Chains A and B, each alone.
Chain A
Amino acid sequence: GAVVSQHPSWVICKSGTSVKIECRSLDFQATTMFWYRQFPKQSLMLMATSNEGSKATYEQGVEKDKFLINHASLTLSTLTVTSAHPEDSSFYICSATSPLAKEPNEQFFGPGTRLTVL
């Protein structure tokens, strides 16, 4: 149980285009989802916290108009990178919390999406 999927697993796009990444909880309802970004050889940095039906909370330094997050249902959150540029190339990972988790605040991670902006 507690499986999180991401789609696509990788994407290559041209500079200036927008890219949408989906994060789904497959077998549970996720009230909260998190989006992380990881640059090569670096750690995961939290970008935003997404709660179903409400606006996402962005971490300091993350542009909310550039990284649009929509959490329209209890099983789906999307991250849209608008007007992507090469410096946005990164590994984007989502995670979700489940009310059925054994531990409070335990997060279940998706496999990640590698974005390459040419």
Chain B
Amino acid sequence: SQQGEEDPQALSIQEGENATMNCSYKTSINNLQWYRQNSGRGLVHLILIRSNEREKHSGRLRVTLDTSKKSSSLLITASRAADTASYFCATVETNAGKSTFGDGTTLTVKP
């Protein structure tokens, strides 16, 4: 199976609720990044967390990284309808420049 698996595949919540998405990977990494993609559009970079970091915040986003479990989570607090999109994690493997993307989580925030 591919590097970078995410769960859930789809998540539907009400506006104001928090959304949590998880990502697991298999190899040693330099960093892990989270991206957002609106339907039919390009990628928007959200946040990068280095392999020696455990948690990072950016606005309503909180990312954690557990290298011992090879997993990461993205938390969006106080969600808005405009947060509706697909979210992907991507890992950059140690000693490799390329990114490998997870399967993605489709988030729907109902107004």
**Which residues of A line the B interface, CB within 8 A?**
32, 34, 36, 42-46, 49, 91, 93, 95, 97, 103-112, 114
Q: Jot down 28 A-B pairs with beta carbons below 8 A, ordered by A.
A: A43-B101, A43-B102, A43-B103, A43-B104, A44-B88, A44-B90, A44-B101, A45-B101, A46-B98, A46-B100, A46-B101, A49-B97, A91-B40, A93-B42, A95-B99, A97-B97, A104-B31, A105-B31, A105-B92, A105-B99, A106-B33, A109-B35, A109-B42, A109-B43, A111-B41, A111-B42, A112-B41, A114-B40
Q: Identify 5 new A-B residue pairs, CB closer than 8 A, beyond the known A45-B101, A104-B31, A111-B41.
A: A46-B101, A103-B31, A103-B48, A109-B42, A111-B42
Q: Which residue of chain A has its CB nearest to the CB of B43?
A: A109
**Does chain A have a CB within 8 A of B30?**
yes
Q: Is the interface of B mostly helix, strand, loop or mixed?
A: strand
- B102: nearest residue on chain A (CB-CB)? A43
Q: How far is the CA of A70 from the CA of B107 in the complex (A)?
A: 36
A34 touches B99 (CB 8 A): yes
Say whether B45 faces chain A, with CB atoms less than 8 Å apart. yes
Those 4 A-B pairs whose CB atoms lie nearest each other, nearest first: A111-B42, A109-B43, A105-B92, A44-B101
- Asked whether B45 lies within 8 Å of A105 as measured between CB atoms, the reply is no
The distance in angstroms between the C-alpha atoms of A111 and B40, with both chains bound, is 10
Say how far B30's CB is from chain A's closest CB, in angstroms.
6
Which residues from B are CB-within-8-Å of A112? Answer: 41-43
Q: Kindly supply a per-residue 1/0 record for chain B positions 7-51, scoring 1 wherever the CB is within 8 Å of any chain A CB and 0 otherwise.
A: 000000000000000000000001101010000111101001010
